[in-house]
Amino acid sequence: MTARIGGNGFSGDKHEGDKTTPTGVYAFDATMYGIAANPGVRYAYHRVVQDDWWDENSSSPGYNTFHHGANPGGPSEPLWQISPQYTYFAVIRYNMPATPGRGSGIFLHQSNGNSTLGCVSLPQSDLVALLRWLDPAANPRIVLSPTGQLSRY
């Protein structure tokens, strides 16, 4: 599968807004999300609605978490408005629990054909196949790294 990453490549020192994808080995969060109905994932699934946000406000107590309600401020993302990227997505557990400013909202989501702001994106058919394949009972991980540095993990 051909994936896209952050426009500024990988980083071992990710911070909010730097457009890099963090290197490392990460789990997936317990809930998957999407604008569309559940495509048949084995994880809990939340179909996003108006006022569903990913809190990317470093000064918020809910930084780097799902939030339903008023805009939590900062660069927080209105999940219901970002299409096609958030048709379906899984949360990569980067910076959880959160350290303010270290980066937030790192997702495995649908590609729009361009680089991401730090997420990993796949074409919709590949993404759906992968999301259906992931089994929370197996405690899956994603390794994010340039090919030449994979041996570090």
pLDDT score, position 150: 93
Q: What are the tens digits of pLDDT across the range 91-144? A: 999 999 999 999 999 999 999 999 999 999 999 999 999 999 999 999 999 999
Pairing of strands 52-54, 44-47: unpaired
Q: CB count, 10 Å around CB of 143?
A: 11
At 15, phi and psi to the nearest 5?
Answer: -145, 160
- 3 falls in which pLDDT band (50, 70, 90)? very high
Across 14-106, where does the E strand assignment appear? Answer: 21-22, 24-34, 44-47, 52-54, 66-68, 77-78, 89-92
Pick from 5, 2, 52, 45: which is nearest to 134 by CA?
45
Q: What are the tens digits of pLDDT across the range 51-75? A: 999 999 999 999 999 999 999 999 9
**Identity of residue 62:** G
Dihedral over alpha carbons 146, 7, 28, 44 (to 10 degrees): -150
- Secondary structure (3-state) at 131: helix
pTM reported for the whole predicted model? 0.96
